[in-house]
Structure 1
Amino acid sequence: MKGKTISAMAAFCCLLSLTANVFAAAPADRAQVTAVTTAAATAAVQTAAASSVRDVTALCTPYSDGEGVSAVALHYPKDIDASRLQTSDFSVAGRTVDKVYTNDAPAEAAAGKKGPYVIVSLAHAATPLPAAGQQGSRPKDDGNKKDDKGGALSGSDAPMFSDRKAPDLSVSVSQSGTVYALDGTAYAPNSAARSADKTVDPVIDSFKTYIYKDPATGYEMPYNIYLPAGYDQDKAKTYPMVVFIADASADINDPKAVLYQGNGATVWAAPAEQAKHPAIVLAPQYTEDLIRSIGMMTTDTHQWTKGLSLVTDLIMDVRNRYRVDKDRIYGTGQSQGGMANIAISDKYPQLFAAQYLVACQWDTQEMEALKDKKLWITVCQGDTKAFPGMNEATALWEKDGATVARSKMWDSTGGTNVFEQMMKVMKDQDAPINYTVFQNGNHMYTWTFAYNIEGIRDWIFEQKL
């Protein structure tokens, strides 16, 4: 014991001597020692902070202007103290953090829960109104010769083939403030950006994708289908079905393009919507391969096509194979999809109980058959085809004795309050056909807001054959 005491005292004296040498050093030397010590300490803190986040999940949402990252979930070792979280504790390059909260799973929630996940919610900017003169256009197939990429050589106003790509859902997050666990553990800041380890989109992921082979034609077509919660439990229950057909910009070979190009398909499958209106959702995917083999689904010559036969056969097949309430099948679509809805409804008048037609038009004489249908039509004032086309069609219907509800032009940027006010004006007229025109805008701008109008979605589900 005596030898150990002497050794310990010697070691202590040695430490004192080294410390004295440090403080006795010249000012420049002391600065170097301090810099090295500080750098080492900073590195140690950053290493500890980096290791404090177990994984990062990008949480995505199909917005009306396309799928995007709506939040980031950071997984910590312990339950986090939500009361000490601030939006300034996190930063995401190129995005605005609008709120932070905790959860027990890597998922967004209306209200936070106790758990080890910090949900960093990101603001989503509204789609700006297009400048005057900007007119998005649907691809046109008028029979004129095309180049090898589908570009129009004469007579057409847009290429047959889309250059749409899957959205870039990459995201990285930095922890710029200290995060505290409920037991007081402090997770130090870390300025190094951490990329997401995985990406999820709860709504899009809830759809199943299949291939339909048409026995009548032999052609194949991908489709996406959503089945309501509990579908497999109650084998006797039937459900309404919403059929959404996208515009031609989604006509690529990715079978899920119809789901991420906007929210025309996915809005009906969102949890809040399904809580009110449980429904089957069908979203066919018209592909580039189909265009190359049988041509466009719809054309500006307003003729029935092989593509329309294929899509219709698919709808009929799903209607018969799944537990669909045949009195409550609803059709909707934008541009190409709206044109397809008109053509199908014209040929099969007892298929759809009601339709929501967005930014589309058809031969007005053929559309005369729709005067007795239940329709909600939405166009933008700046749409150089759909606006005059639907003006002519609705005027013709009224001349034939149909009742069409109208109102002053709507403001697409007005949000929920404006939409609710205008919905009341329209519904008070109690007409089977509703025609709403939005001020300014253009063709492709129309569907960046059209499916966000809750009142129109509610009206659809009120209709029956």
Structure 2
Amino acid sequence: MELSPDDTAAALWVTGQGSGTPPAAGSDSGSDDAGGSPGEGGPGVGDTTPGGTIVAAEATLIQTGTVTTAHGIHYPADGTARTADAVVNLIVDDFRQLSFSDPATGQTLRYNLFVPKNYDHRKSYPMVLFMHDASVVNVATEGPLVQGLGAVCWASPEDQARHESFVLAPEYGSVVIDDNYEPSTLFEATANLVRSVTHQYSIDRNRLYTTGQSMGAMMSLGLNISYPDLFAASFIVAGQWPQTQAAPLAREKLWILVSTDDTKAYPGEQAITEVIQDQGTQVSTALWDGMSTAAEFAADVRSMKSQRTPVNFAAFKTGTVVPSGSTTSAHMATWQIAYTIPGIRDWIMRQSL
């Protein structure tokens, strides 16, 4: 029995609005608040309110008609209820759940780690750090793997066939950063976790990458500013940072993706981009249709890549990221699309220090 990702009743990630749906506006990053500003009803630094629940995968079916196999064997309906007694969660099950105790900060970080299936310590591998948004705070360790695609997309068989890599996805027990831009010590602990994992495995320190959505995007920007020689490239999804501190980002390789309907992250990213350009760094910009097909997105990516700039800034056009009838915000809808575009991940993986 296979649960369909298109069936909302089959969703295993549950928030305040029920199975598979985002939080209500104002209940974290369900609003257009990139960081969950305390002043706007979102959680502030240190908030430990759980953002969601992973429910057990259960399914029962009754065969109501004859089933015929490819070899012509017939199995007539019998009315017996059959319940699954084992669960396979593709890609998610390939991650290990671990814990890191950071002596420098005294913090303990739970995290998920994907190790390439054919790992060979004699080879050197890149690693991607994915950091979740505030709606995944203080849930089960696997939370970042099931709430969205930001971690698992890099570990898919298709991506691994093109770019064998490690994928690191921490689970934060509390909000790390809000719109005051004064992160908790989990921020520093994250950088120390990255260094710790690179010492445990044969990981190429010239090919470390970071990405994140909302709070995680803010952390990616902040880490690039605080540790400018740590990451070779970053995929920034619906995040922001004070433009007065953004000058160091001009030395980084960035792919920024945001919705024009995102009332905080979009102007925030525009301001950062202006600072980067003022520093003399070339930036490619484009407006994309959030309802594009895979082929259309691939063409969009190729067009930006052809300009060969170290920073790419793409924004989804107004009204193109939120499906008709959906209660989600443009802010959250951005990352539901962003991590389905493989061409961006390919660009990230080709960068090095």
Q: Which residue of 1 aligns with 2:97?
A: 209
Deviation at 1:405, TM superposition (A): 0.3
Q: CA 1:182–1:257 in 2, change beyond 3 Å: closer, same or farther?
A: closer
Query: Would the alpha carbon gap of residues 141 and 423 (structure 1) be closer, same or farther in structure 2, given more than 3 Å must change?
Result: closer
Partners of 2:137 and 2:34 lie apart in 1 by 11
Deviations 1:26-49 (A, max 9, x none): xxxxxxxxxxxxxxxxxxxxxxxx
1:436 equivalent to 2:314? Answer yes
CA distance in 2, matches of 1:455, 1:258: 22
Q: Percent identity?
A: 35
C-alpha deviation, 1:182, in angstroms: 6.4
Task: Give 2:82's aligned residue.
Answer: 194
SS at match of 1:283: strand
Partner of residue 160, structure 2: 274
Q: Provide Cα deviations, 1:61-120, integer angstroms capped at 9, x if missing partner.
A: 7x9x9x948xxxxxxxxxxxxxxxxxxxxxxxxxxxxxxxxxxxxxxxxxxxxxxxxxxx
Equivalent residue, structure 1, for 2:211 = 332
Looking at structure 1, the residues matched to 241 and 83 of structure 2 have their Cα atoms a distance apart, in angstroms, of: 47
- For 1:463, the aligned partner's letter is Q
Q: Take 1:354 and 1:299, find their aligned partners in 2: how far apart are those partners? A: 23
Task: Give the Cα separation in 1 of the matches to 2:97 and 2:130.
Answer: 15
Q: Output aligned runs, 1:113-262, within 5 Å.
A: 135-138=31-34, 140=36, 142=38, 155-159=39-43, 160=47, 161-167=49-55, 169-181=57-69, 185-191=73-79, 193-231=81-119, 234-262=120-148
TM-score (norm 1): 0.65
Work out the CA distance in 2 between the residues paired with 1:399 and 1:226.
39
Separation (CA, whole Å) in 2 of partners of 1:190 and 1:312: 57
Alpha-carbon distance in structure 2 between the residues aligned to 1:326 and 1:175: 53
Q: Residues 186, 429 of structure 1: CA spacing in aligned structure 2 closer, same or farther, 3 A cutoff?
A: same
> Which residue of 1 is the match for residue 281 of structure 2?
402
Specify the alignment match of 1:359 in structure 2.
Answer: 238
The residue identity in structure 2 corresponding to 1:375 is L
Q: What number of residue pairs does the alignment pair up? A: 325
Hey, what does 1:79 align to over in structure 2? none
- TM-fit CA distance, 1:193: 4.8
Of 191, 194, 218, 1:312 maps to: 191
Helix, strand or coil: the match of 1:452? coil
- The DSSP-based 3-state class of the residue aligned with 2:288 is coil
1:425 is aligned to 303
Structure 2 letter corresponding to 1:260: V
Conservation of the 8 A alpha-carbon contact between 1:138 and 1:158:
no
The answer as to 2:334 corresponding to 1:446 is yes
Which residue of structure 1 lines up, in the alignment, with residue 15 of structure 2? none
1:202: how far off? 2.6
TM-score, normalising length from structure 2? 0.85
- Rounded to whole Å, the distance in 2 between the matches of 1:68 and 1:238 is 37
The offset of 1:336, in angstroms, is: 0.6
Task: Give 3-state SS (helix, strand or coil) of 1:200's partner.
Answer: coil
- Distance in 2, matches of 1:395 and 1:415, equals 30
Cα pair 1:58 1:196 within 8 Å, conserved: no
- Mapped to 2, the partners of 1:182 and 1:394 lie a distance apart of 57
Three-state SS of the structure 2 residue aligned to 1:333 is strand
Does the residue aligned with 1:455 lie in a helix, a strand or coil? helix
Task: Judging by fraction of residues, say which structure has more helix.
Answer: 1
Q: Separation in 1 of the partners of 2:280 and 2:121?
A: 43
2:35–2:179: 8 Å Cα contact kept in structure 1? Answer: no
Question: In the superposition, relative to structure 1, how do residues 141 and 126 fare at CA in structure 2: closer, same or farther (>3 Å)?
Answer: closer
- AA matched with 1:378: L
Cα pair 2:36 2:134 within 8 Å, conserved = no
TM-superposed deviation, 1:173: 3.0
**Mean Cα deviation higher: 312-321 or 242-251:** 312-321
Structure 1: gaps of 5 or more residues:
1-56, 70-124, 143-154
Secondary structure at the aligned position of 2:53 is classed as: coil
Q: CA deviation at 1:313?
A: 1.2
Letter in 1 for 2:284: A
Larger Rg: 1
Q: Is the 8 A contact 2:50 2:139 kept in 1?
A: no
Secondary structure of 1:444's aligned partner: helix
- Coordinate RMSD, CA, aligned: 2.6
Q: Distance in 1 between matches of 2:260 and 2:276?
A: 20
| Structure 2 Cα separation of the partners of residues 183 and 227 of structure 1 | 38
User: Tell me, what secondary structure is at the counterpart of 1:435?
Assistant: strand
SS at match of 1:443: helix
8 A contact 1:135–1:382 mirrored in 2? no
The 2-side partners of 1:177 and 1:225 are apart by 43
Is the Cα contact below 8 Å between 1:174 and 1:194 reproduced in 2? Answer: yes
